[in-house]
Chains A and B, each alone.
Chain A
Amino acid sequence: KQEVTQIPAALSVPEGENLVLNCSFTDSAIYNLQWFRQDPGKGLTSLLLIQSSQREQTSGRLNASLDKSSGRSTLYIAASQPGDSATYLCAVPPFQGGSEKLVFGKGTKLTVNP
């Protein structure tokens, strides 16, 4: 059964700092991984999707990497801003092919202090 773990559970940094959020998953036979942002009481905003054939995906100040063999992904945020404060979730399908559902981690709550 696919399990997703995100470390740390919470992170507080000063504005301008570069930071890394970690995601690990138990079944490495996935075909993609998706990172989301969730603001308090709100829905999930898709940030990046990495296909299993990719090692990295970039969008603006965000860079996500995927290492399937070790069951890990990282989300790198450059030059953090107070507006980046949110909970960041990673999600994977339970196995390669045959299921479209996503299995989520519990998230990392990021606070960027001005």
Chain B
Amino acid sequence: EPEVTQTPSHQVTQMGQEVILRCVPISNHLYFYWYRQILGQKVEFLVSFYNNEISEKSEIFDDQFSVERPDGSNFTLKIRSTKLEDSAMYFCASSRVYEQYFGPGTRLTVT
């Protein structure tokens, strides 16, 4: 069964460094998303992407964040200058229409 994959599973970085989180969505899906979950808190929406452009973003998704679909399979989230409060699980999701399928997540730890 097709699934969303994410790499790396765990990333440790120092404050101020840039990180790129990678995702391979399900191949025939059209909509792509990033969510995050700070430990013990709700899953929060960051951004959605459709037709090679951002379709919606939350207030969390400020100028430090960017997304890209560099080729036909990968979908990336870049954080330019990480802060301690960016430490969280980051989930990629994709959907063909309504039902969203999530990847296993990347645990980002900013020290």
A binding-site residues for B, Cβ under 8 Å: 31-32, 34, 36, 41-46, 49, 51, 89, 91, 99-107
Contact = CB atoms under 8 A, between A and B. Distances in A.
B42 A106 contact: yes
Contacts of A36: 102
A91 B100 CA distance: 10
B31 A42 contact: no
A49 B99 contact: yes
13 contacts: A31-B98, A42-B104, A42-B105, A43-B6, A43-B104, A43-B105, A44-B93, A46-B100, A101-B45, A101-B48, A102-B35, A104-B42, A104-B44
Nearest to A6: B42
Give the contact-size bracket for chain B.
Answer: 20 to 34
Contact of B98 (A43, A49, A103, A107): A49
Contacts, number: 55
Secondary structure class of chain B's binding surface, majority of residues: strand
Contacts of B45: 101-103
B17 to A, nearest CB: 23
A102 B100 contact: yes
Contacts of A107: 42
Interface of B: 4, 6, 31, 33, 35, 41-45, 48, 50, 55-56, 58, 91, 93, 95, 98-105, 107
A1 to B, nearest CB: 12
